[in-house]
Structure 1
């Protein structure tokens, strides 16, 4: 269990991503966890916190924690761009603007509609990014 606000935010975002139901089910890789990419499709998550903003002048005032959950829908290159873009859209919908997550005395809110980016083609795969912006006052 996470003991800090920062770790709680990451934990809640990853848990929410794990609750996404896709058909077929795709494995998810998280930062710092060993993972062997499958031959087929999978999801990759990265937690990118930004600078913490101090709301007030007192030492014990709440702080604004903002950042990005970057998710990639990764597919083999031979499937085209529609399937990975569709998966990215489902991830974006799962983290819709206004989504609020609660745990360990921390509330995280998705404050902007997630952005599905342009497909990036590599020699052996296609990556479609989803940028999810979050904030938390703690």
Structure 2
């Protein structure tokens, strides 16, 4: 199988080994935030970041990596645990997320929960006279907490609280910055799912 990127150099491999030794970055954040206690979410693996931090895009390189446990990385439960138990212990898996332009089958079962991302770039603004002068990129992402009907809205609000905390004002990604605290919108309900949308506004200067 052909790799999307070249094999890691010795220094890049050392960096990845050190990141792996620290444990799952999502579990570490949840520990610090008081959302999780005890063990991590599974075997720690190296996740290679993609262009724009968007699923399905080209990988950036061996230097742009994040250490993640099996549950948060690929939705793999610990032995003896089902998906519902894993969610209760460790929160949502990044595998259970629908990304724009990518095929996705929502989890099944009455207790199923997942995320859906929509991406809305806005008009750029020039901040220089020259053609190659700096310009402002801006827009917002809408990350929705989704679950099957009949579980009660507290399921959704618990997830949206975690989304808002994870994308706090000042958080940076792909050269952009969250410009103000994310907010929730009206709950959307249909026969197959309940959605709690969270709007995440971002902007950043490019030159």
Structure 1 residue 13 displacement after superposition: 6.3
Length, aligned pairs only = 122
Residues 1:49 and 2:90 aligned together: no
The TM-score normalised by the length of structure 1 is 0.79
2:146 paired residue among 52, 74, 77: 74
What does 1:76-91 align with in structure 2 at a 5 Å threshold?
A: 76-91=148-163
Residues 1:119 and 2:187 aligned together: yes
2:99 paired residue among 21, 30, 36: 30
Structure 1 residue 41 displacement after superposition: 1.0
Higher Rg: 2
Indicate conservation of the 8 Å contact 1:89/1:116, yes or no.
no
Structure 1 stretches lacking a partner, 5+ long: 2-6
Indicate conservation of the 8 Å contact 1:75/1:84, yes or no.
yes
> Which structure is higher in RCO with an 8 Å CA cutoff and minimum separation 6?
1
Q: CA RMSD in A?
A: 2.1
Structure 2 stretches lacking a partner, 5+ long: 5-49, 56-67, 73-86
